[in-house]
Amino acid sequence: MNYEYFHLRIAGVCAIATALCEVAGAAVGEVYGLGGQNLPVATHEELGLLAESSLPFLLREWFYIIRRYIRHR
Amino acid sequence: MGLYFLMRNSSLALWAVIAWIVGLMVGIVEDAAVIGLINHVVSVYPVATETSRESMLFATGLSFETIKIQQFISLLLSVGVGGLLFSVVGWRSRALPRWLCIVGILAAVTTGWCFGLCNVVLDSEDAALLFENGFALVVIWDLTVGIVLLSSATNAT
């Protein structure tokens, strides 16, 4: 057991966790039909929709932000 | 950082990890801005007057344009430059399987360069959606890199 072993092990687990977060975020987007990465903020109808169904959008973004936090390990 | 550890003998790996980390930092700021924007719309838009809603439409549109540019910079640096350099170094040093290096290069081109260029510079959502499929390559890349790092850790004992 040495420093290199621990470093590579943590990095490996983080890389796999990153992939899982990416899949989870994409799955939320697919299940709720959120479309691409762009937020619907171009018209009043889209803003109203975003205000009404914000939870899946927030859930997806939290998965993506966690992904970026752990990705650099 | 794990990939850098595997490839640290190459000077390109240093540039890769710098681009990777700076890109991810910009990306974290971008994601936080998206969450903040959604929270703001949820709390303010339903109770706003007609006039306020007009202002909000303009303000959220402006904020989102900024977020799109942050996303472009983030993807360009982390995947487009960092991922590309890691793939090139991995190919040269044989630290990564050849097929994974090809996946990394394709992911860098589609999501790191083409997606952002279509979304921000050309403002073409349809083209951007097409290149968004490249994120599947990023998932394959991350997953396989994780397995490579874990097996390298086992060899390091």
Q: How many domains does chain B have?
A: 1
The verdict on residue B44 lying in a domain is yes
Candidates A6, A20, A21, A41: best to mutate against B (most CBs of B within 10 A) is A41
The verdict on residue B157 lying in a domain is no
Rounded distance between C-alpha atoms, residue B77 and residue B113, angstroms:
9
- The per-residue pLDDT for range B53-79, each reduced to its tens digit, is 999 999 999 999 999 999 999 999 999
Residue extents of the structural domains in chain A? 3-71
Structure tokens at A11: 């990095």
The verdict on residue B131 lying in a domain is yes
Helices and strands: H and E segment counts in chain B: 8, 0
The verdict on residue B73 lying in a domain is yes
Contacts of A33 in chain B (CB under 8 A): none
Domain span at residue B141 reads 2-7+14-151
Q: What are the DSSP E strand ranges found in chain A? A: none
Interface of A with B (CB under 8 A): 1-2, 4-19, 22-23, 26, 36-39, 41-44, 47-48, 50-51, 54, 57-58, 61-62, 64-65, 68-69, 71-73
Residue A35 distance to chain B (closest CA, Å): 9
B151 Rama sector, left if φ>0, alpha if ψ -120 to 50, beta otherwise: alpha
The verdict on residue B20 lying in a domain is yes
The verdict on residue B156 lying in a domain is no
Q: In chain B, which stretches have pLDDT less than 50?
A: none
Contacts of A47 in chain B (CB under 8 A): 41, 45, 53, 56-57, 60
The verdict on residue B34 lying in a domain is yes
Candidates A9, A63, A5; CA nearest to A34 is A63
Q: What is the predicted ipTM?
A: 0.85
- The per-residue pLDDT for range A5-50, each reduced to its tens digit, is 888 888 889 999 999 999 999 999 999 888 777 788 888 998 888 8
Residue B102 distance to chain A (closest CA, Å): 18
